[in-house]
């Protein structure tokens, strides 16, 4: 009887543990007003990059702020065409409004997401300003933890693609909102917390 009770208790604990760390979809928690905080390292300089969602329907709009020592802020607008067809990752932030039509930021474009399905690959501009293209592929799936209102028991179902070397992009495996949660290019970015 004791053995049966121990086995049952263990099974309940496993189920509760799994439920406590169940994966969520970005659209379940990211709404207008949601803040996403990323840790960034650029050439040895560390700072926070905070995104506040203004619009996340057919087009995306985000207010953004980079903490000290960078101290920049502005608004980032992604057109519907960028969300669907972008082939580059934007990374040249300047104060003020930035509107993107052929690059994406914070999320992968649908074109990128579709290219990585079924272990496909795609050439992406990692630095469009300097005409730098990198082929990403070799995707693998995993979960990645993040904070939600400082509760770090949350996970996204993610995919990571790489160039076969040091460059990699990790994004939420969700065609409706493939949020970038981590990137390692010539700089690194990692989602730390989401606040509502």
Chunk the chain into consecutive blocks of 10 residues (it has 196) and report each block's average pLDDT, rounded to whole numbers: 42 38 82 96 95 91 96 96 96 93 94 94 94 95 92 93 96 95 95 95
Q: What is the pLDDT of residue 2?
A: 45
Helices and strands of the chain, counted as H and E runs: 4, 11
Compute the half-sphere exposure of residue 194: CA atoms within 13 Å on the CB side of its CA.
24
Q: What is the pLDDT of residue 114?
A: 96
- Cβ pair 51, 191 in contact under 8 A: no
Q: What is the pLDDT of residue 27?
A: 86
Q: Measuring CA to CA, how many Å separate 20 from each of 28, 151, 154, 178, 181?
A: 16, 11, 8, 23, 20
Q: What is the pLDDT of residue 22?
A: 64
pTM above 0.95, yes or no: no
């Amino acid at each position: 009887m004791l053995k049966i009770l121990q086995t049952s208790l263990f099974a309940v604990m496993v189920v509760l543990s799994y439920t406590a760390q169940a994966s969520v979809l970005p659209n379940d928690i990211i709404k207008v007003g949601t803040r996403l905080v990323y840790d960034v390292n650029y050439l040895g300089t560390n700072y926070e990059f905070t995104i506040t969602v203004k619009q996340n329907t057919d087009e995306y709009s985000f207010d953004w702020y980079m903490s000290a020592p960078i101290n920049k802020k502005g608004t980032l607008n992604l057109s519907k065409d960028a969300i669907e067809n972008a082939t580059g990752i934007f990374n040249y932030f300047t104060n003020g409004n930035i509107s993107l039509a052929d690059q994406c930021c914070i999320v992968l474009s649908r074109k990128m997401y579709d290219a990585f399905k079924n272990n496909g690959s795609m050439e992406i501009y990692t630095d469009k300003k300097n005409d730098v293209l990198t082929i990403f592929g070799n995707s693998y799936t995993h979960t990645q933890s993040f904070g939600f209102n400082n509760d770090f028991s949350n996970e996204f179902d993610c995919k990571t693609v790489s160039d076969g070397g040091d460059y990699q992009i990790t994004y939420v495996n969700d065609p409706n909102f493939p949020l970038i949660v981590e990137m390692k290019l010539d700089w690194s970015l990692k989602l730390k917390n989401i606040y509502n």
